[in-house]
Structures are given as C-alpha cells and as structure tokens.
Amino acid sequence: MDAGYCDDWTERLDLAYGPNGSEVIFDCPFAHHVAGIGAAGEYALIETDYFGGHGDQVAAVYRKGVEEPLFASQRVRRGAINDALRKIGVRACKGMDEFDTLGLGRHRDFDHYFERYE
C-alpha cells in the first residue's frame, strides 16, 4: 500500500485513527478495515523493502484486531514475514518458504497503482 492511498481511503470511509502498535508503516485504519473484510479474524500485515539485495522485513499478526506477539525477538528482522505467515497458518510447500508458497514474490512493485495519490 501507499501512504497517500491509505490516508485517502481512511478519510473516505471515515475510519478513526487509533494507536499504531506495530512497526509496519502501513498499520493504519484502512489496512485493518480491508483485512477485516477478508480475514477470518486473524491476519498479518507485512512489509519488505529491499534494494540491491539488502533490506528489511517487518511483520505484525493480528487476531480480532489485536496485535499478537510473534516472538520475543524484534519484529524488524530477516524472516519476520515467514514467521508471521506461519503464525496465521500458512504452510510452506516443499523447497519453498511461506512467502514464495503464497506467490508474494510476483508482487514486488505497486508504484504504478498509486501514482494518482502522490
């Protein structure tokens, strides 16, 4: 998601801002609204930012809108996304991790979808 997109739709849907507990940049009312529509009460917000092979992963898992602890370690670390996906029930296929099992690697660039919000 894009920050402008999230802010625009949060305003359009008249969603209330509340405390943002996770380190996921797009942990916002709109993201929780969308997740609540399609999820059976449990979902993960994930974020990854890589450039030239180096980068960060951030993930947070929510059950009924309340953040669940992933592990005692920080949410910002290598493997955080797979940990979160595992926690919500994603099982990796043989020879793949959870991220690749869901095909998330095919969705790395969304900038063109959000041009009108810049």
Asked if residue 83 lies in contact with residue 59, where contact means CB atoms within 8 angstroms, the answer is yes
CA gap 27, 54 in Å, rounded: 23
* β-strands 66-68, 42-51 pairing: unpaired
For the CA atoms of 78, 82, 85, 91, the dihedral, rounded to the nearest 10 degrees, stands at: -170
What's the token pair of residue 92?
A: 């990796």
**What are the per-10-residue average pLDDT scores of the chain (118 residues)?**
81 80 75 77 82 75 82 60 91 94 81 68
Q: Which tokens in the block code for residue 114?
A: 């959000």
pTM, two decimals, is: 0.75
